[in-house]
Amino acid sequence: MPRHADCKICTMLETAPPENLVLDGEHWGVVAMREAAGVLMVFTRDHDQGVGSISDAAAAGFGPLIKTLSAGLSASGFEKTSVISLGDNAVHTHFMLVGRKPADAPIFDNTPLMARLACKEGERARAVAGRLRDGLKNSGLTA
Ligand SMILES: [Zn+2]
């Protein structure tokens, strides 16, 4: 894949110290973030337009990758793994995996999310859910 000189994620992958590089794969890359134990940046190797545009191969690998990384964090003493999607500011689909140690407070305060849930867009919410159901039926997914 061509590297874009001004791409922060390509540059991060190329300049990551070997001890911070977790995966330099064909479809996904994973870099441990600096000095923060249990914090990983997971990103597509392709430049894409966000999670809806990732390659089929990247999509197929996503679940097993996240599960394996989370199990690895668990084996390293983290009791929960949060997946934070960061899709708006780079040309790679990317996520942060953040392990939570037993004594740590939960990473998220649900207040901003709950405020969103308080809006009254029921008709639109049901229409979006219907389109998603139709899309899943047409995809052949049965999970
Ligand atoms: Zn890049």
In a domain, 134, yes or no: no
CATH code of residue 30: 3.30.428.10
* pLDDT single digits (tens) 107-127: 777 777 677 677 787 788 788
In a domain, 33, yes or no: yes
Place of tokens 């039926």: 137
Longest dimension (CA), the chain: 51
Structurally, the chain folds into a number of domains equal to 1
With a cut of 50, list the residues of the chain below it in pLDDT.
none
Report pLDDT for 130.
87
* pLDDT single digits (tens) 88-99: 778 999 999 999
Query: Which domain range does residue 70 map to?
Result: 8-105
Give residue 136 CA to ligand 1 midpoint distance, Å.
Answer: 30
In a domain, 59, yes or no: yes
Give residue 90 CA to ligand 1 midpoint distance, Å.
Answer: 8
Q: Which of 48, 3, 49 is nearest to 24 (CA)?
A: 3
CA distances from 67 to 20, 30, 103, 138 (A): 19, 13, 22, 26
Give residue 5 CA to ligand 1 midpoint distance, Å.
Answer: 8
In a domain, 114, yes or no: no
Report pLDDT for 135.
83
Report pLDDT for 113.
66
Q: Which of 30, 49, 54, 31 is nearest to 91 (CA)?
A: 49
